[in-house]
Structure 1
Amino acid sequence: MRTIIMTAMLLALGSGTTSVAAVRIADAEVQTSLTHGRVEGPFELHSKVYPGTARRYWVYVPAGYDPSKPPNLLLFQDGQRAVNPEGSLKLPAVLDTLIEQKAIPQTLGVFVTPGNVSVRYPDTLGMQNPDHRPEEYDALSDAYARMTLDELLPAVARRWRFSADPKRRAIGGTSSGAIAAWTVAWRHPDAFGNVISFIGSYTSIGLKLGPDGTPLAYGGDTYPGLIRKSAIRPLRVFLQDGRNDLDNEHGNWFLANQQMLKALEWANAHADAEKHAGPRYDINHAWTEGTHSDADGGSILPDVLRWIWRDQQPGR
């Protein structure tokens, strides 16, 4: 039985920041559901935004799905791992359990892989990363968001309806999948109002230098500065990272995630001090002892989803 114990509950009035209260989540919690949704797929998507790439996606359709009552939407990156019943995330089982408990509303899940440069998505990849992942996930451009909003979600919507309300839509991922999720929501808060970020790669993976050392493209380590100097987006954000995460030529992952949290907190505090009207970031975080692994995020995932949709009526 895996247990994660986190910090005591804090509510920082005016900052919009909370930390999770002494949460103990056992793997067994997501194995007790009696009512099962179905996982459809994999489907293959050939992108015009990323020509020459192929990607796969799966769709979790909750039990009792009613197209006349469009459900919430959860879009998760690295879909091959998100749907893996032997993996750390086990998202279909988590959704089964939480929906049956009426802990979260009816939710359609979409789990998408990065692209692979090939005519067809290789059957042999298994849980491995497709070869176009860094170009898509770690770039700060709008390309991945355009693929998501203009290609992937319309393909899903041809068969299944889901809410158009950004407050009822969440996008998430782990590692580079987390920064990809953040970039989509940061650029398009009108499409996604909630972000789940586990072991996020807010580091310099995407940094590209010219022959003279001039940056040609920036990496995710730029985000804390962008957050501090940009208008606040109406986003609810959950950050998780472990103190034993990576430290390499791209950066220090745990420090990078702490910088993200500090930037979001500062943006709220500054807006309050200046008496600015408008939204504030709704922030929650969990610092664990883990490494660069999905394990800790997977262990707290049920409570993260409860927190994301805590103000919605169960079963809506």
Structure 2
Amino acid sequence: MPTTLPYVSLPLDQEDIRYAYGPDSAPRTGVEPGMLEEIRVDASLMFPGTSRKVWLHCPAGVSFSDDCAVMFFNDGWWYLDPDGDVRGAIVLDNLAATGDIPPMIGVFVDPGVLDGDGMPTKHRNAEYDAFDAAYGNFLLDEVLPLVAQRFPISGDPRMRGICGGSSGGDAAMTAAWYRPDGIGKVIAFNASFAQMPGGNPYPSRLESELARSTRIFLHAAHRDLNWNARDHNWFAETLETAAALSRSGYDFRLVVGDGGHSPNHGGVLLPDALRWLWSEIAQK
């Protein structure tokens, strides 16, 4: 059966766009909020000198007799905040209640902070924009064991995903790229591939290396930074990454919206991005 979408007119102004949230992004009557636990990571082998907060979210009614899926969220509190642009825990609660995702632990990881003589310094860009294995190793080797102390989690990379926006989108792609053994699904909203040191590595690497089994949801904003510039064009870099994924045979989905470099559209898309990303698991 074909899917018929309701008609929506295109806005003439592509700059000042804000998308309305759907019902999965607000608390729903009859859906019990999940459990939330805050932990700290004050020592890291991968990122020495950093400290950060991590929040673990477990939807109500999850059976702890079975191994759970895991979804990492970069920029932890920003993606967790119930009054913010993404509202991750609310979305996870609603999708778990309808069975649209498998039993899943949400792991919301803040970027690291360095304490330089009493002056906290954000370590976000150093962790998120780098094209190396460090961040993926940190999540799988340092954060995931803390999750496993509390919940039975699956060892199957197809049961592990990661989500992020802007530089957090870079980190999501790179963590899965370097650690396909531990992370098999990616959501990248408004990724800032253009500002990665040395430039966006993905188009050339995707075309020259064997395809991984990673499933990827990409989002781009038509008026992202430098959208009509020859260099450092954030919109174009995501499109070129999507084209390389297509030519390389990846199972991916690209959604392009209007507006600029904002988390709003990504937050609106999160419920459907999770549904699509986990659909082959949830339907089994």
| TM-score bin (small chain) | 0.7 to 0.9
Partner Cα distance (2:53, 2:7) in 1: 32
Decide which moves more: 282-291 or 31-40: 31-40
CA distance in 2 between counterparts of 1:312 and 1:98 reads: 13
Find the aligned partners of 2:107 and 2:123 in 1 and give their Cα distance: 20
Q: Identify unmatched segments of 5+ residues in structure 2.
A: 1-5, 11-18
Task: After TM superposition, list the pairs within 5 Å mapping 1:66-77 onto structure 2.
Answer: 66-77=63-74
What is the CA-CA distance between 1:249 and the residue it aligns to?
Answer: 10
- Structure 1 residues 151 and 119, CA gap change in structure 2 (3 angstroms): farther
- 2:232 pairs with one of 234, 239, 251: 251
Partner of 2:21: 26
- What is the CA deviation profile of residues 84-136 of structure 1, one whole-angstrom value per residue up to 9, with x for unaligned ones? 111111000001111111111111000001111028999xx9xxxx6111111
Find 1:136's aligned residue among 122, 127, 134. 127
- Establish whether residue 88 from structure 1 lines up as the match of residue 85 from structure 2: yes
- Structure 2 match to 1:292: 261
Please state if 1:238 is matched with 2:217.
Answer: yes
CA distance in 2, matches of 1:206, 1:238: 19
Q: Percent identity?
A: 35
**1:66 to partner: Cα distance:** 2.6
Q: Deviations over 1:258-309 (max 9, x none)?
A: 01101111112xxxxxxxxxxxx10101000021111001111111111011
Structure 1: gaps spanning 5 or more residues: 8-23, 208-217, 269-280
**3-state SS of paired residue (1:251):** coil
Secondary structure of the corresponding residue to residue 99 of structure 1: helix
Change (3 A) 1:62 1:29: closer
Does the CA contact (< 8 Å) of 2:137 and 2:179 recur in 1?
no
1:261 aligns with 2:211: no
Matched residue, 1:193: 184
Aligned partner of residue 108 in structure 1, secondary structure: strand
C-alpha contact (below 8 Å) 1:62/1:107 kept by paired residues: yes
Where 2:40 maps in the other structure, the secondary structure is strand
More deviation in 159-168 or 41-50?
Answer: 41-50
Is 250-259 or 286-295 further displaced after alignment? 250-259
Supply the distance in 1 between the matched residues of 2:20 and 2:172 (Cα, whole angstroms).
24
Matching residue's letter, 1:242: A
- Deviation (angstroms), 1:46: 2.0
Q: CA RMSD in A?
A: 2.7
After superposition, the C-alpha distances for 1:52-91 in whole angstroms (9 at most, x for unaligned) are: 1111110001112332212111101000201111111100
Give the CA deviation at 1:35.
1.9
- Aligned residues of 1:170 and 1:194 also touching (Cα < 8 A): yes
State the distance in 1 between where 2:7 and 2:63 align: 36
Whether the aligned pair in 2 keeps the contact of 1:174 and 1:200 (CA below 8 Å) is yes
Count of matched residue pairs: 267
Detail structure 1 runs of 4+ shifted over 4 Å in the superposition.
3-7, 119-122
Residues 227-246 of structure 1, C-alpha deviations (whole Å, 9 max, x = no match)? 11111010110000110111
CA distance 1:252–1:233, change in 2 (3 Å): same
Instruction: Name the CA distance, whole Å, in 2 between partners of 1:121 and 1:307.
Output: 44
* CA deviations over 1:151-192 (Å, ceiling 9, x no partner): 111122112222111111111100111110111111111111
CA–CA distance in structure 1, aligned partners of residues 65 and 118 of structure 2: 33
Q: Distance in 1 between matches of 2:176 and 2:252?
A: 14
How far apart, CA to CA, are the structure 1 residues paired with 2:152 and 2:9? 37
Q: Tell which deviates more after alignment, 62-71 or 191-200.
A: 62-71
In the alignment, the residues of structure 2 paired with residue 95 and residue 240 of structure 1 have an alpha-carbon distance, to the nearest angstrom, of 19
Give the whole-Å Cα distance in 1 for the aligned partners of 2:180 and 2:24: 32
Q: CA deviation at 1:250?
A: 7.3
